[in-house]
Copies of this chain bind each other. A is one copy, B any other.
Amino acid sequence: MTQKYYAQIYVTLRPSVLDPAGVAVRSGVQQMGYDNVEQVRIGKYIEVTLNANSEDEAKTQLDRICDLLLANPVIETYRFDLTTVSSEVQTS
Protein backbone atom coordinates (compact mmCIF):
# COMPACT_ATOMS: atom_id res chain seq x y z
CA MET A 1 0.00 0.00 0.00
CA THR A 2 1.26 3.43 -0.89
CA GLN A 3 2.18 5.55 2.07
CA LYS A 4 2.84 9.26 2.16
CA TYR A 5 6.22 10.34 3.48
CA TYR A 6 7.56 13.72 4.55
CA ALA A 7 11.31 14.25 4.19
CA GLN A 8 13.41 17.06 5.64
CA ILE A 9 16.64 17.32 3.69
CA TYR A 10 19.69 19.26 4.90
CA VAL A 11 22.36 20.11 2.34
CA THR A 12 25.55 21.55 3.80
CA LEU A 13 28.95 22.49 2.46
CA ARG A 14 31.72 20.06 3.29
CA PRO A 15 33.79 21.34 6.24
CA SER A 16 36.83 21.89 4.03
CA VAL A 17 34.93 24.15 1.60
CA LEU A 18 34.99 27.91 2.14
CA ASP A 19 31.61 29.56 2.69
CA PRO A 20 31.79 33.23 1.60
CA ALA A 21 28.05 33.73 2.23
CA GLY A 22 28.48 32.50 5.79
CA VAL A 23 31.45 34.82 6.31
CA ALA A 24 29.34 37.74 5.02
CA VAL A 25 26.52 36.90 7.43
CA ARG A 26 28.95 36.63 10.34
CA SER A 27 30.30 40.04 9.41
CA GLY A 28 26.74 41.42 9.39
CA VAL A 29 26.03 39.83 12.75
CA GLN A 30 29.19 41.34 14.20
CA GLN A 31 28.18 44.77 12.86
CA MET A 32 24.95 44.32 14.84
CA GLY A 33 27.20 44.21 17.91
CA TYR A 34 27.32 40.45 18.47
CA ASP A 35 31.05 39.83 18.59
CA ASN A 36 30.45 36.52 20.33
CA VAL A 37 29.34 34.80 17.12
CA GLU A 38 32.24 32.65 16.01
CA GLN A 39 31.12 30.94 12.85
CA VAL A 40 28.18 30.96 10.45
CA ARG A 41 27.72 28.38 7.72
CA ILE A 42 24.84 28.46 5.29
CA GLY A 43 23.15 25.46 3.76
CA LYS A 44 19.90 24.50 2.16
CA TYR A 45 16.83 23.00 3.80
CA ILE A 46 14.34 21.22 1.57
CA GLU A 47 10.99 19.70 2.51
CA VAL A 48 9.70 16.98 0.21
CA THR A 49 6.37 15.17 0.31
CA LEU A 50 6.28 11.94 -1.66
CA ASN A 51 4.36 8.69 -1.96
CA ALA A 52 6.19 5.38 -1.81
CA ASN A 53 5.47 1.71 -1.16
CA SER A 54 7.98 1.43 1.67
CA GLU A 55 10.42 3.47 3.72
CA ASP A 56 13.31 1.82 1.87
CA GLU A 57 11.88 2.83 -1.50
CA ALA A 58 11.44 6.41 -0.29
CA LYS A 59 15.02 6.50 1.02
CA THR A 60 16.43 5.14 -2.24
CA GLN A 61 14.55 7.75 -4.25
CA LEU A 62 15.59 10.58 -1.95
CA ASP A 63 19.24 9.50 -2.18
CA ARG A 64 19.04 9.65 -5.97
CA ILE A 65 17.25 13.01 -5.95
CA CYS A 66 19.83 14.48 -3.55
CA ASP A 67 22.81 13.11 -5.47
CA LEU A 68 21.61 14.22 -8.88
CA LEU A 69 19.62 17.37 -8.24
CA LEU A 70 19.81 18.91 -4.78
CA ALA A 71 23.43 18.55 -3.70
CA ASN A 72 26.72 18.91 -5.52
CA PRO A 73 28.61 15.92 -4.09
CA VAL A 74 31.98 17.50 -4.82
CA ILE A 75 31.47 20.32 -2.33
CA GLU A 76 28.31 19.40 -0.42
CA THR A 77 26.95 16.63 1.75
CA TYR A 78 23.35 15.93 2.62
CA ARG A 79 21.30 14.08 5.18
CA PHE A 80 17.58 13.68 5.59
CA ASP A 81 14.97 12.75 8.17
CA LEU A 82 12.01 10.75 6.93
CA THR A 83 8.64 10.56 8.67
CA THR A 84 5.39 8.99 7.61
CA VAL A 85 2.38 11.23 7.16
CA SER A 86 -0.48 9.48 8.89
CA SER A 87 -3.53 9.14 6.69
CA GLU A 88 -5.76 9.90 9.68
CA VAL A 89 -4.72 13.53 9.38
CA GLN A 90 -6.54 13.80 6.06
CA THR A 91 -10.08 15.10 6.42
CA SER A 92 -12.50 13.98 3.79
Residues of A within 8 A of B (CB): 2, 4, 10-12, 22, 25, 28-29, 32, 34, 36-52, 61, 64-65, 68-70
| Contact indicator B32/A69 (Cβ below 8 Å) | yes
- Shortest distance between the CB of A49 and any CB in chain B (Å): 4
- Copies per complex? 2
| Contact indicator A47/B37 (Cβ below 8 Å) | no
| Contact indicator B47/A41 (Cβ below 8 Å) | yes
For the complex with contacts A22-B46, A40-B46, A40-B49, 6 further pairs of A-B residues with Cβ separation under 8 Å are: A12-B45, A25-B46, A41-B47, A42-B44, A42-B45, A44-B45
- Shortest distance between the CB of A74 and any CB in chain B (Å): 19
| Contact indicator A37/B25 (Cβ below 8 Å) | no
Query: Given contacts A25-B70, A42-B45, are A50 and B36 in contact (CB under 8 A)?
Result: yes
